[in-house]
Amino acid sequence: MEYVEIAIPVPLKRTFTYSVPDGVEARVGSLAVLPFGHRTMTGIVMGASSSRGNVKIKNIIEVLHSAPVFSQKMVDLLKWIADYYCAPIGEVCKAALPLEFSRRTKKKREVMPKDTIIDDVFLSAPEFKLKDSQAKAYETLKSEVRSQKFGTTLLHGITGSGKTEVYLRLFEDVLKTGKEAIFLVPEIGLTPQVLGRLTARFGDLIAISHSGLTPAKRAYEWKRMQDGSAKIVIGTRSAIFAPFKNLGIIVVDEEHDSSYKQDESPRYNGRDVAVMRAKMENIPCVLGSATPSIESFANAKNGKYHYLHLPDRPTGALLPDVDVVDMREVNAGSVLSPQLIGAIGEALTRKEQTMLFLNKRGFASFILCQECGHTYTCPNCNITLTYHKHENTLLCHYCDYKTPPPQKCEKCGSSRVIPLGTGTEKIETELKNYFPKAKVERLDRDTTTKVGVRPKILSNMKQGSTDILIGTQMITKGHDFPNVTLVGVIDADMSLNFPDFRAPERTFQLVTQVAGRSGRANRKGTVIVQTFMPEHYAIAAAQTHDFFRFFDEEMPARRELGYPPFGRLALIRIQGLKEKMVETSAKDLFRKLSTINYKPLTVLGPAPAPLAKVRGKFRWHILIRSGDIKAVRQMIDRVAECESGLPKGIKVIVDVDPINML
């Protein structure tokens, strides 16, 4: 009889000891069925354990599958994630496995055919001649692939600089050595176009992994990776857990994107986990972006990462001209400036396409009573309800609460209730009024709820049947439409006004990325940026596509405040259903933490979160900041100790290296 430690998918930061009965082989990484309380659950064998004396230890019931679902290296990675991000190890394991593998069943499953649908318009593999900078970058990375030693390279290439072609050639080199590759992209919306290029180049060797797949499809793709029939996986952050046995390279595209950070437990960052997995596998990791994160570029400057720069486009296309429109000089209430309307009309005359970006969906941002000033807010969240005209409903974008729009003010009874603010739905309506003969489409969460709609919209753009595409962040990066010569950025200040130290960085990235959709072929592009803050350095740097200027202007503020890359952060969120209890608990926790003298370390707060109520729960924040990650970890350990003394119903959430400060 031997003993093993099992990770079980429950919110407890520990493993559980079980005994292994005779005749059962429980190897590290195996999926085991076991009794847990009054339930039967599945868990992952994390390693051997010593006997617990006279304590009664339950037996494993059985081990599923003939081979472990995780290798020893993957188990080590999962342990690191649980430790670094202060997450329950069982929840980490669950996040790394397709749902179907966690279901115990005696029924034999039918093999699911590969049913990934890619529009033929995306099935292309243009292999162009690399220019000097691209060729140099590729040869440098190729030598790193051949050496098969760990190293992280930041591939900083302007939009349209051929980064994807460099990736594909590296994948070819990896396959020649009999190894496999992981290709991470931040969002599902980027997969149809990139997947088309990969499939055209590599055929059935490609697997996909993202949350849009059904559990059965995810399990099917997982099995293809595990048995070796797939050699390259493209997917969102969870694809970093691909069960490859002979990994040769990891590529993280758009490495700056906040989508790599998971919002719920385990709150890991897929980009940073990719670097750690590459280190454990002793292989190269490539981080690619036209607008690198401040942290990654700082790592490149101090020599922690290798740095490669692609300053031009291999097709010879030039970066577009960027014109900034000061909306303070435009008639009040105008959403589309005369400059932008005129440019759209000219593009239509030339039979060229336009993309318009506004990071706010819906028809109006809120409903206002002109008599008493009352606005309609979500009863579950501390946020105004957005008016969606097509569905004729008020909607909360955080908890999906819906209610019909009012005919009269619920506070004073006035009928002077009007929608104010602008969303993508309103822009779509205005465009159709201005240009009734143009084919206008909208790409946002509202229009892509049905399966297959998003690829169809992108396919229409690729084929040229759409004249104007209006969208949210979904359209800002990764897409390559040769006939797009005009890009408009509406309300570029929106992200600048967020109460978050990363607001300037996000603004620069969004504007630069969406600007890069214009003029990618043989026609010069134009970008029109509408803003009330044209003098802000994030807008000014984006106007000249100057990342280095933005970096130099951003760093002093980061240094002065001790924010990344000069310091490490952990965000402590205290939340619960009773407002006063949450406030009292936050202040009590802060008082206990403030008595601890870890140097150098600062504890900031407590304060109501910028979004003080979400989904019915009140939220307060405490921020831990230090230049030493060890000091941050020590303080987090004390948070866990203090948490046990808080009232029932109060939940404390720890977010290490937070991205969302709201």
Partners of 337 in the β-ladder: none
Convert the pLDDT of each residue in 146-168 to its tens digit: 998 999 999 999 988 889 999 99
Q: How confident is the model at residue 622 (pLDDT cuts 50, 70, 90)?
A: very high
Which pLDDT belongs to residue 503? 94
- C-alpha closest to that of 471 among 394, 396, 361: 361
Say if residues 332 and 444 touch (Cβ distance below 8 Å). no
Q: Is the pLDDT of residue 599 over 80?
A: no
Convert the pLDDT of each residue in 354-393 to its tens digit: 999 998 988 888 899 999 999 999 999 989 999 999 889 9
Which pLDDT belongs to residue 278? 98
Which pLDDT belongs to residue 233? 96
Determine the Cα–Cα distance for residues 360 and 490; give it in Å rounded to an integer: 10
Which pLDDT belongs to residue 126? 61
Whether omega for the bond prior to residue 9 falls within 30 degrees of 0, making it cis, is no
Higher local confidence (pLDDT), 600 or 107: 600
* H-helix segments, 177-245: 191-202, 215-227
Q: Count the neighbouring beta carbons within 10 Å of the beta carbon of residue 380.
A: 16
- C-alpha closest to that of 507 among 528, 486, 527, 491: 491
Determine the Cα–Cα distance for residues 547 and 311; give it in Å rounded to an integer: 11
Q: In what order do the strands lie in the sheet with 62-64?
A: 16-20, 2-7, 39-49, 31-36, 62-64
Q: Is the pLDDT of residue 111 over 50?
A: no
Which pLDDT belongs to residue 53? 64
Convert the pLDDT of each residue in 285-338 to its tens digit: 999 999 999 999 999 999 999 999 999 888 778 889 999 999 999 988 789 999
Tokens found for residue 161: 């600089």
What is the pTM (predicted TM-score) of this model?
Answer: 0.92
Whether omega for the bond prior to residue 113 falls within 30 degrees of 0, making it cis, is no
Q: Is the pLDDT of residue 191 over 70?
A: no
Determine the Cα–Cα distance for residues 191 and 193; give it in Å rounded to an integer: 6
Q: Do domains 120-310 and 321-361+423-556 have the same CATH topology?
A: yes
Distance of CA 618 to the CA centre of its chain: 25
Determine the Cα–Cα distance for residues 100 and 320; give it in Å rounded to an integer: 47
Determine the Cα–Cα distance for residues 447 and 466; give it in Å rounded to an integer: 15
Question: CA separation (Å) from 165 to 42, 233, 275, 315?
Answer: 42, 16, 21, 12
- C-alpha closest to that of 520 among 546, 476, 485: 485
Which pLDDT belongs to residue 192? 66
Which pLDDT belongs to residue 109? 44
Q: What CATH fold (topology level) applies to the domain 120-310?
A: Rossmann fold (3.40.50)
- Residues 6+ away with beta carbon under 8 Å from 587: 606
Distance of CA 553 to the CA centre of its chain: 25
Say if residues 624 and 589 touch (Cβ distance below 8 Å). no
Which pLDDT belongs to residue 104? 46
Q: Where are the domains of the chain?
A: 2-102, 120-310, 321-361+423-556, 568-656
SS3 83: helix
Mean pLDDT for all residues in the chain: 90
SS3 489: strand
Secondary structure (H, E, C), 419-484: EECCCHHHHHHHHHHHCCCCCEEEECCCCCCCCCHHHHHHHHHHHCCCCEEEECHHHCCCCCCCCE
Q: Is the pLDDT of residue 125 over 80?
A: no
> Which CATH entry fits the domain spanning 321-361+423-556: 3.30.9.10, 3.40.50.300, 2.40.40.20, 3.30.450.80?
3.40.50.300
Whether omega for the bond prior to residue 21 falls within 30 degrees of 0, making it cis, is no
Poorest-confidence range of 250-254, 379-383, 546-550? 379-383
Higher local confidence (pLDDT), 161 or 241: 241
Poorest-confidence range of 50-64, 405-419, 561-575, 621-635? 50-64
Which pLDDT belongs to residue 189? 64
Which pLDDT belongs to residue 114? 44
Question: CA separation (Å) from 159 to 138, 324, 443?
Answer: 17, 19, 21
Convert the pLDDT of each residue in 51-90 to its tens digit: 666 678 899 999 998 889 999 999 999 999 999 999 999 9
- Identify the CATH homologous superfamily for domain 2-102: PriA, 3(prime) DNA-binding domain (3.40.1440.60)
Determine the Cα–Cα distance for residues 162 and 158; give it in Å rounded to an integer: 9
> 108, exposed or middle or buried, with CB in 10 Å at 0-12, 13-18, 19+?
exposed
Which pLDDT belongs to residue 486? 96
Poorest-confidence range of 300-304, 315-319, 396-400, 550-554? 315-319
Say if residues 144 and 151 touch (Cβ distance below 8 Å). yes
Name the CA radius of gyration of the chain, rounded.
26
Determine the Cα–Cα distance for residues 19 and 58; give it in Å rounded to an integer: 6
Convert the pLDDT of each residue in 514-532 to its tens digit: 998 888 877 889 999 999 9
Q: Is the pLDDT of residue 193 over 80?
A: no
SS3 140: helix
- Identify the CATH homologous superfamily for domain 568-656: Ribosomal protein S10 (3.30.70.600)
Convert the pLDDT of each residue in 404-463 to its tens digit: 999 999 999 999 999 988 899 999 999 999 999 999 999 988 887 787 788 888 889 989
Tokens found for residue 363: 């028809």
In eight-state DSSP terms, residue 88 is -
- C-alpha closest to that of 511 among 532, 486, 528, 535: 528
